[in-house]
Structure 1
Amino acid sequence: MEQNLESQINRSDYKILIVDDVVSNVLLLKILLTNEKFQVCTANCGNMCIEQAKAEKPDLILLDVMMPDISGFDTAVILKKDPATAGIPIIFLTALNNPSDLVHGFQVGANDFLTKPFNKEELVVRVMHQIALVAAKRMIEKQNEELRATISNRDKMYSVIAHDLRSPMASIRMVLNLVVSAVSRDQLGPELFDLLDKANRESEECHDLLDNLLKWTKSQTGRLTVVLQDLDLNDIIPGVVDIFEMIAMTKKIKLQYQGTPMKVRADNDMLKTIVRNFMSNAIKFSPEESTIDISLSKEGKFAKVSIRDHGVGIAPERLGDIFRKGETTYGTGGEEGSGLGLQLCADFSRKIGGDVMVESTLGEGSTFSVLIPLIS
């Protein structure tokens, strides 16, 4: 891979700073590297090297160890302490071959050594190796920058879509709910009533998706604040269940709630979002004239809210990834789901110090649960 990268490198794009107090050494290195098409700048002492490194911003420094003002090792220490020059790789030029000198060189920031006297082939190989690493780093930084821009634009798009559509969708949803509850099949006729009922259910699904999308975007971009407070589940869960009574009635599904006072520490909105998503899925994947059981229990230091349906169930191979892998699914009435809701539930449950779990038997139903820390 490195060889392929080296073949793609335009050497004239890279600058090398040569530092040596011996003029003949500088001239020799300059001729060799210029012939290899590199840009070259020079310095004849450690202090000049530091000035040139800041001014020229070279991609690589060939640094002599033995110099009259400050040594190459001390020069490297100064370069590595300055953020403006710390990232520039250094190849030390030295006649020293004592292992302790090599160790010290690497300790002060050497990327490689070139022992004097050196030959052209060895020089070019060692220089190209460092330049290839610089090129790879630049490529990664560019890709990361492009990726960050893409993610930022994506999150902005998600947020705008969800935020701008959520309000009008909520109005449509409310109007359809009122109309469906105010008219009967006999008044409108079977075909028109079925169309209205379908529009009502789809408006619910669309509103829930937009709500999940907005919260997911805020959560992933760090703009969602977790506000933990003391809550009684018996005050929270029945209200969420009541919201779904009308939706459940459209499929003749009976909701059964069993609960006792249970104090927890959680974010009220996040907890309601988790339970709403579990309730929505339970209705979506339950057949008509079935029941959904909502119950509260204790499990160690956690309260457990469970929503059990008697629907289609989940295949065993899907259970392990159900909260991580968003995929399109279809309910018993053809309702479409994106899988985003379950990912959001897992994210929110961990933000409040709990967790989510699922048990399911294919063809018999599923139980989705959320664990919430009890107030000790």
Structure 2
Amino acid sequence: MLENENLESRIVKSDYKILIVDDVMSNVLLLKILLTNEKYQVCTANCGNMCIEQAKAEKPDLILLDVMMPDISGFDAAQILKKDPETAHIPIIFLTALNNPSDLVHGFQVGANDFLTKPFNKEELVVRVFHQIKLVAATRIIEHQNEELRATISNRDKMYSVIAHDLRSPMASIRMVLNLVVNAMSPDIIGPELFELLDKANRESEDVHDLLDNLLKWTKSQTGRLNVVRQDLDLNDIIPGVVDIFEMIAQTKKIDLKYQGSSNPVVVYADNDMLKTVVRNFLSNAIKFSPENSSIEITLSEEGDFAKVSVRDHGVGIAPDRIDSIFKKGETTYGTGGEEGSGLGLQLCADFARKIDGDVMVESTLGEGSTFSVLVPLKK
């Protein structure tokens, strides 16, 4: 009720134009006086063909259309208006002396929004016209809000893309330098306090780089600018390369990466970059949530029509109440070394796996560790 009253108070009747169509001049003059007194803009036509011309030229917000006219009927004029994209959205109130139910049904079938029976009551006319104008006003508000929302989303996605793209390259350089420095130094050389700070900076640079990479890909995926390029891939060639990338990172936490491949070719039909992104995120999370001096096992197997890549850690595990939503919510989480995660990576994993007709899954025991797996369709 309050929303309706608020809408009515926002309507300025002089902003709305009504087209009156009737071949009887006295009816046109009466309607024109009534609606002008209500502060509406008014334009007129005296036949069906003129109604169509005026509707295109004047772009009214509402048409009061007589049914019985000498050239073409109001029903025929309405059909023509509703087939034209320029005029299809304009609501129509039929003015008619017909009261046969079949005529009313036909009127609604050709696009009527309402009927007024001649001779019409003045108060009823004003109320019915205002009701249609309220619907027009509400539609305009919704369309305006949708435009603002689309603009906001577009600007947000553009901002995400610019931030991720422009920061990703320099961040990759910083990450590489810090990796090299940390591996070349030791607490004995530069002291334990400085080494700890350097090690912390190294881990944080990894997290920031991963976040920017995920953010860039997620934005492209959400805006439809990320194409799926499927090809035949032997996972025995793909997965070891991904594991090698994380060897140096794992060494900073004294974590042993153990890869167990397959003795036979495991050929899938998938997008190379998307698949690597999923496995990289699984490995990054496994390292992040594993304690020092532990191990992470990466295994490759086949299950029915799918290849399965699993990453198992022996870290903090996941609480049972979070398992079902782990791939849906972008929750901030913290690793065993204080590493901060946005939760975006797992959302991206689920999105990418499904784009290549696969899926993701997780098994976990709190305090014992987790196993994240991605299923990828085998080549048929």
* TM-score band w.r.t. shorter chain: over 0.9
* Residue of 309, 320, 325 corresponding to 2:324: 320
In the other structure, the counterpart of 1:161 is 163
- Unaligned regions of 5+ residues in structure 2, if any? none
Identity between Structure 1 and Structure 2 (%)? 86
Structure 1 residue 355 corresponds to structure 2 residue 359: yes
Letter in 2 for 1:312: V
Structure 1 length as normaliser, TM-score? 0.97
In the other structure, the counterpart of 1:245 is 247
* Residue of 290, 312, 315 corresponding to 1:311: 315
Check the 8 A contact 2:317/2:364 in 1, yes or no.
yes
In the other structure, the counterpart of 2:66 is 64
Q: CA deviation at 1:121?
A: 2.0
Structure 1 residue 5 corresponds to structure 2 residue 19: no
* Residue of 14, 17, 22 corresponding to 1:15: 17
Check the 8 A contact 2:183/2:252 in 1, yes or no.
no
In structure 1, distance between residues paired with 2:202 and 2:234: 32
* Residue of 329, 333, 353 corresponding to 1:329: 333
How many residue pairs were aligned?
A: 376
In structure 1, distance between residues paired with 2:116 and 2:300: 72
In the other structure, the counterpart of 1:198 is 200
* Residue of 120, 133, 145 corresponding to 2:122: 120
In structure 1, distance between residues paired with 2:126 and 2:303: 67
Listed as ranges, the matches of 1:218-229 within 5 Å are: 218-229=220-231
Q: Deviations over 1:49-73 (max 9, x none)?
A: 1111111110000000000111000
- Unaligned regions of 5+ residues in structure 1, if any? none
Q: Deviations over 1:227-272 (max 9, x none)?
A: 1111111111111111111211222222111120311111111111
3-state SS of 1:310 partner? coil
Listed as ranges, the matches of 1:34-49 within 5 Å are: 34-49=36-51
3-state SS of 2:177 partner? helix
In structure 2, distance between residues paired with 1:313 and 1:174: 29
Listed as ranges, the matches of 1:20-39 within 5 Å are: 20-39=22-41
Following TM superposition, the consecutive aligned residue runs of length 4 or more in structure 1 with deviations greater than 6 angstroms are none
Letter in 1 for 2:165: H
Structure 1 residue 293 corresponds to structure 2 residue 297: yes
Q: CA deviation at 1:370?
A: 0.6
Structure 2 length as normaliser, TM-score? 0.96
In structure 2, distance between residues paired with 1:32 and 1:73: 24
Structure 1 residue 266 corresponds to structure 2 residue 299: no
Q: CA deviation at 1:3?
A: 4.3
Q: Deviations over 1:310-341 (max 9, x none)?
A: 11111222222211211111111110000111
Letter in 2 for 1:14: Y
Q: Deviations over 1:24-48 (max 9, x none)?
A: 1111111111111111111111111
In structure 2, distance between residues paired with 1:90 and 1:357: 55
3-state SS of 1:148 partner? helix
3-state SS of 2:18 partner? strand
In the other structure, the counterpart of 1:187 is 189
Listed as ranges, the matches of 1:87-98 within 5 Å are: 87-98=89-100
Which region of structure 1 is more displaced relative to structure 2, 30-39 or 331-340?
30-39
Letter in 2 for 1:135: A
3-state SS of 1:222 partner? coil
Check the 8 A contact 1:303/1:371 in 2, yes or no.
yes
Check the 8 A contact 2:318/2:369 in 1, yes or no.
yes
In the other structure, the counterpart of 1:232 is 234
Q: CA deviation at 1:81?
A: 1.5
Check the 8 A contact 1:15/1:60 in 2, yes or no.
yes
In the other structure, the counterpart of 1:143 is 145
In structure 2, distance between residues paired with 1:309 and 1:128: 67
Check the 8 A contact 2:20/2:43 in 1, yes or no.
yes
Q: Deviations over 1:97-126 (max 9, x none)?
A: 111111111111111111111112211221
Q: CA deviation at 1:80?
A: 1.1
Letter in 1 for 2:363: E
Letter in 2 for 1:94: T
Q: CA deviation at 1:359?
A: 1.5
In the other structure, the counterpart of 2:174 is 172
Structure 1 residue 368 corresponds to structure 2 residue 364: no
Check the 8 A contact 1:6/1:128 in 2, yes or no.
no
In structure 1, distance between residues paired with 2:126 and 2:362: 61
In the other structure, the counterpart of 2:348 is 344
Over aligned residue pairs, what C-alpha RMSD do you find? 1.2
In structure 2, distance between residues paired with 1:317 and 1:112: 53
Q: Deviations over 1:111-147 (max 9, x none)?
A: 1111111112211221112111111111111111111
Letter in 2 for 1:82: D
In structure 2, distance between residues paired with 1:128 and 1:358: 58
Q: Deviations over 1:4-29 (max 9, x none)?
A: 42232111111111111111111111
In structure 1, distance between residues paired with 2:71 and 2:35: 26
In structure 2, distance between residues paired with 1:112 and 1:134: 14
In structure 1, distance between residues paired with 2:247 and 2:119: 87
Structure 1 residue 213 corresponds to structure 2 residue 215: yes
Q: Deviations over 1:202-221 (max 9, x none)?
A: 11111111111111111111
In structure 2, distance between residues paired with 1:375 and 1:13: 63
